[in-house]
Structure 1
Amino acid sequence: MASHRLFRFPKPQWLNNANTRTAGVYLAGALFSLGFFFFIDASAFSSSPRNGSKVHITFVDWIPGICSALGMLVINSIDKSRLAADSFSYSGNGVAWKARLVLFLGFALMAGGLAGSVTVMVLKYVVPEYPWPTLWFGVANVVANACIMLSSVVLWVSQNMEDEYTYNLAL
């Protein structure tokens, strides 16, 4: 029987471990919280009287982070088995293409969030040539969105790992 693998290289054995899966979930949570920590830190410093700048973080700066967080929720709510579900009889027709469409929209939200944070940083902080303490507001936004995107990838991979403790109850 031919294997349905994409690459010729075998999957490392440590990927089939429950501890690796748990560590991946914790790493994803740490990346997510670290990303929002950077942005909230910049936001708090923005409203501080020690800021010394007329520029502050507004709702426009929050929009990319909101898009990235919504994209992460959408991506990680899709079950990996639904992506190839057309060969099974789930309720309704075309489950796989619907799941792929929703997955694409989630990735589009995250990519739009990252691109939006870079755009906000360039247009609001780099082009006017603000000095470093003020430039940190834009950098923190990009770092936060990159951490959210990386967190989503780590969580997707770790949640969809097959381990030896997964039981198949199909008869």
Structure 2
Amino acid sequence: MEANHQRLFRLPFKLPNSAQSRSIGVYFSGALYAIGAWCFLDAAIYSRKANGSSVHVTFIDWIPFICSTLGMIVVNSIEKNRLIQDAMGSGSFSGSSSMAWQARVILFLGFALLAGGISGSIVVLILKFLVKDFKSYPTLGMGVNNVVGNFCITLSCVVLWIAQNVEDEYSYSLTL
């Protein structure tokens, strides 16, 4: 007889080996962050060394990249058990402790930094490159690289969040 299992998702997500899946997710997340940082730094170096136009990467272009990086650090620094701390005991989220609410607020601020990084890079692309009619690709590419870099950093944060939440079959909690 099969046990009646309730699923959270319609599609069954089965990972072959939790430890291996976690490692692959962490490495993939690091690769995405490296690609994002490389895209942005490539545009910054290109704007100073090889760009023939008057448009350069300035501090305004760095602000979305810094916001995305800080958002990734904040989101992945939160201990995941703090988010659902009292929900397991009481059966609802209404009686959560202040520690759980603090973790949720910090998590929200981290995701707000990530969203601000992506939206800021899109605004910089539009206002600095598209409105001023820089349609040639090497110059326009600096703005596109900023958007691609911030998107890769945000995707890296999501992949790392999921990879850290993969449960091992044989994991034990040794906290007292």
- With structure 2 as the length reference, what TM-score do the two structures score? 0.86
Shift of 1:30: 0.5
Shift of 1:165: 3.7
Return 5+ residue gaps in structure 1 as ranges: none
- The corresponding residue for 1:37 is 38
Q: Distance in 1 between matches of 2:158 and 2:125?
A: 24
What pairs up with 1:100-119 in 2 under 5 angstroms?
100-119=104-123
Q: CA RMSD, aligned part only?
A: 2.3
Query: Which digits, 9 at most, give the CA deviation of each residue in 1:49-76, with x for residues without a partner?
Result: x311011000000000000000000000
Same amino acid, percent of matched pairs: 55
Q: Distance in 1 between matches of 2:173 and 2:6?
A: 19
**CA distance change for structure 1 residues 94 and 6 in 2, over 3 Å: closer, same or farther?**
farther
Shift of 1:7: 3.1
Query: Which digits, 9 at most, give the CA deviation of each residue in 1:10-36, with x for residues without a partner?
Result: 43142x521110010000001001101
Query: Any idea what SS the aligned residue of 1:51 has?
Result: coil
1:125 aligns with 2:129: yes
- The corresponding residue for 2:22 is 21
- The corresponding residue for 1:94 is 98
Q: Which amino acid aligns with 2:152?
A: C
Shift of 1:160: 1.4
Q: Which amino acid aligns with 1:70?
A: L
Query: Which digits, 9 at most, give the CA deviation of each residue in 1:145-168, with x for residues without a partner?
Result: 000000000000001110124213
- The corresponding residue for 1:62 is 62
Equivalent residues of 1:46, 1:137 under 8 A apart: yes
- With structure 1 as the length reference, what TM-score do the two structures score? 0.89
